[in-house]
Amino acid sequence: MLVKFIFLACLVATIECCVDRSGSVDNKNNSTSENNSDLISLSSELNAANITTISNTTTSTINNSTANSTQPLLTISNEINEKPLICYYGTWAVYRPGDGKFNVENIDPFVCTHVIYAFAGLNFNNEIHPLDSWNDLPDNYGKNAFGRFVGLKKKNEKLKTIIAIGGWNEGSIKYSAMAKSDQSRQTFVKSVINMLDKYGFDGLDMDWEYPANRGGAPADKENYVKLLAALSEAFKPKGYLLTAAVSAGFWTMDSAYDIASMSKYLDYINVMAYDFHGAWDQKTGHNSPLYARADETGDQLRLNVDYAMKYWVEKGAAKEKIILGIGTYGRTFTLANAQNNGYNAPITGPGAAGPYTREASTLGYNEFCEQQMGSNKWTIVQDQKTKVPYAYRDNQWIGYDDIASVNLKARYASEKGLGGAMIWSIETDDFLGKCGNGKFPLLTAIRKGLNNQVVENPPETSVSTATTTSSTTTTSSSSTTTEPSTTTTTTTPPSTSWWTWPWSSSTTQQTTTTTTQSSSQTSTTTSDPLSTTTQNPDAFVCKEEGMFKGPDCGSFYQCVFVGDFYGEGGSKYRLFTFRCPSGTVYDQKTSLCVWPSDVKGCEHFYDGESTNHI
């Protein structure tokens, strides 16, 4: 039998969620009259915390003896009283090349309290179903990742294993239709129970992105609560956990969620507190700042972790159910001028793709720290206002989280009485320990932070501090200050998600820069990133949201509903073009990249015998 596999329809990484190590939490909803003043007021200690250690040099270095050591810098105590630390596993990482490949067996079952398998999908019969049957299931010589994932509990009986449904690629339309009536909701609930019973998962993570958005209906806000209520009622007799991954974007929260009502039925509310800034802003900005910058005004003040956590509490979510989401990746940018490399610096597009994630605009922490081991190092700046680092190298810029900043965020969650922390995602931590700080250094630092233990960056990885908030640059040979425009107009992305937004709907290019030691001149070449290709914007017009066949067997389009703000030429949709991984073709029936022999007319696409369109 021919084997099919998924490429995760459009090479995107999407989502997050959570659950409790002990099983579940009391489902009673905390009244909004409960005293939440400790969260609403800022912690002066946190604001004053110095999260960096500054080295004697202005360029970051890694000691080779440290890098080659097998002794972890951070160790985990089995005796600490743990809050939930929930780890998403993006299962498409099994298809990544080299040291980026991450199998179920790479998961340390003792580092996380809960692990979440991302994702399952929703079929048009309103039932949950596997998205990658060859990888997920044991049938037909499949890899049985479901069984291996759940089998991690044999090593750690306290571990909770959750299946997530949804994600950005799944969209909202199907979920809106499913949640619309009691009959369709019950069909879905029964299918979920059947899957959990059959494969041994401990619960479900709902990642509907997002109710009443992206083609959904206004009634979704109410229907989503009804869906959660039905799931909760069915789960209780079996002891299953029910969690949800939710937006941290202010443009989504009000329209999508009845927060107080949701809180009654969920064991945990996983707030995706990242993707606050990206190439869609057309200037540099941090992926996940803990606090706002001093120069930010208006709606910009809402684009940070602190605001999102306060918002969910103020709207009625029980604090102990709120899980603070932390990204193990950074958002990258290509600078218009390599010398203008602070915040708000103009850009020409997203940053170059990494060797493992292979997505323009994103670098996993493992990719970043491995690059830092080489000769062409990033210059790292620790921003004392936002409490997170950014870095630049040639014309590349990244806003990311490091060991100290994730530890501080975890301590923030602990001090504010939140339920715990969540990461998206485990496979982009330094899971092999190649960078000299032991395996899973970010997860280890988060775990310690949840127990109020301070972890600082190793001295080699801290370089300088920034107290300014607009394009102040520090280089190894000189300091240059530039004054970019201070316009306070906010460009709001369509959602806070894991979707990688190409810079243009018509053309996406990856930029690679090389700089020689003897010259300050920078040479730049461009090439198409692996997941996208250039296209003629007149060749295909989006009329509805979804995925559609491309101009040849190896390509496909995705139309994303973005509303009036982002639509081009009056359209409410944005068009992206993607290519399947080498050796595979797009199957319109399943919306997957599969073997050529499985798609009629594309059997000989790669051997030169056919160039048939799908």
Q: Cα angle at 278 between 372 and 392, to 5 degrees?
A: 30
Query: Within a 10 A sphere around the Cβ of 603, how many other Cβ atoms?
Result: 17
Q: Which of 82, 170, 209, 370 is catalytic?
A: 209
What's the chain's Rg over C-alpha atoms?
Answer: 23
Cβ pair 251, 266 in contact under 8 A = no
Cβ pair 184, 220 in contact under 8 A = no
ω into residue 291 within 30 of 0, thus cis? no
Question: How far is Cα 124 from Cα 478, in angstroms, rounded to an integer?
Answer: 60
User: Three-state SS across 155-191?
Assistant: CCCCCEEEEEEECHHHCCHHHHHHCCCHHHHHHHHHH
For this structure, is 209 an active site residue? Answer: yes
| φ and ψ at residue 383, rounded to 5 degrees | -85, 120
The two beta strands, 420-424 and 322-327, are parallel
Q: Cα angle at 607 between 601 and 612, to 5 degrees?
A: 30
How big is the chain, counted in residues?
614
**Contacts for 374 with CB less than 8 Å, ≥ 6 apart:** none
| φ and ψ at residue 44, rounded to 5 degrees | -65, -30
Cβ pair 264, 318 in contact under 8 A = no
Which residue shows structure tokens 């066949």? 549
Residues belonging to the active site = 209
